[in-house]
């Protein structure tokens, strides 16, 4: 579903990603881990071209993406993204947030989009909040709306950048539950998270990033039980 070859990205003089190779198969759940500043967010943002890498190749589905010639907007319809700080549109209700892109990007009829939105809101357990504004929701509710909003474009892949890091501890579970359900539905996902319990339970593969390199990857039970790389050990000790 996603193939990354030789991806490199610098900010000014700082090289953040160095020759990254990564493959994500259909319905796989890949969890990216690594210390702060290791390049996890940057890698994720390169996958939907919110950042443009200066070298390397990215293939999504069976389309090789060339930022100069590919229609990136079309490509992004297939790649949903969920952010740490939700980024809901504060001037729109929950329902309007969700139907915004289907109506204005996909040109879906308003009725059809609303039906879809209500279905998605049920899925994330928030159909009674359709007419609330984001300001009237808790963090966990906001993030579930953000997930529903991304799903409304019916993407083939979902990217999550620390979706629970900004939440109060008691609200983390409800968001992880929605993500688990998505994984069970067979959604292909790439997730940056520090929730190791979640990774152990849901991830098909865990990928460890350090200084812009992938230094280790494998099934969660392998990585957590006996990490091969000394930096992975140290990282896991710190956060577990």
Helix (H) and strand (E) counts in the chain = 9, 10
- Residue 37: name its binding partner from another protein, ligand ATP, Mg ion, none (Cβ under 5 to 8 Å by kind): ligand ATP
The answer to whether 76 touches 50, Cβ cutoff 8 Å, is no
Give dist(CA 179, CA 46) in Å, integer: 22
Q: At 151, which helix (H) or strand (E)?
A: helix 139-151
Residue span binding ligand ATP (CB under 6 A) among the ranges 32-40, 59-67, 109-117, 176-184: 32-40
Given Mg ion, another protein, ligand ATP, none, residue 36, with its beta carbon under 5 to 8 Å by kind, binds: ligand ATP
Of 7, 38, 47, 187, the one binding ligand ATP (CB under 6 A) is: 38
Cβ closest to ligand ATP, residue 149 vs residue 235: 235
The DSSP call for residue 134 is: G
Distance between CA atoms of residues 93 and 204, nearest Å = 35
Answer whether 19's CB lies under 8 Å from 4's CB: no
Q: Which residue number, 41 or 164, has a Cβ lying nearer to Mg ion? A: 41
Is residue 40 part of the contact set for ligand ATP (CB under 6 A)?
A: yes
16 binds, among another protein, Mg ion, ligand ATP, none (CB under 5 to 8 A by kind): ligand ATP
Enumerate binding residues for ligand ATP (CB under 6 A).
11, 16, 34, 36-42
């Amino acid at each position: 579903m996603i193939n990354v070859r030789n991806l490199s990205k610098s900010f000014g003089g700082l090289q953040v990603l160095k020759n990254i190779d990564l493959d994500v198969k259909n319905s796989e759940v890949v969890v990216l881990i690594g210390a702060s500043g290791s390049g996890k967010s940057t890698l994720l943002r390169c996958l939907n071209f919110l950042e443009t890498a200066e070298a390397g190749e990215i293939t999504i589905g069976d389309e090789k993406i060339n930022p100069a010639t590919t229609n990136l907007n079309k490509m992004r319809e297939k790649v949903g993204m969920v952010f740490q700080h939700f980024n809901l549109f504060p001037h729109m209700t929950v329902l309007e947030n969700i139907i915004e892109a289907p109506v204005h990007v996909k040109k879906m009829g308003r009725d059809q989009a609303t039906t879809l939105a209500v279905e998605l809101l049920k899925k994330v357990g928030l159909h009674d909040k359709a007419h609330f504004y984001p300001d009237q929701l808790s963090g966990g509710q906001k993030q579930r709306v953000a997930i529903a909003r991304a799903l409304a474009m019916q993407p083939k892949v979902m990217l999550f950048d620390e979706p629970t890091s900004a939440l109060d501890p008691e609200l983390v579970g409800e968001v992880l539950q929605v993500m688990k359900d998505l994984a069970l539905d067979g959604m292909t996902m790439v997730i940056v998270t520090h929730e190791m319990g979640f990774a152990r339970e849901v991830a098909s593969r865990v990928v460890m990033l350090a200084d812009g390199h992938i230094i280790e990857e494998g099934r969660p039970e392998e990585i957590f039980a006996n990490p091969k790389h000394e930096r992975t050990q140290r990282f896991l000790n710190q956060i577990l």
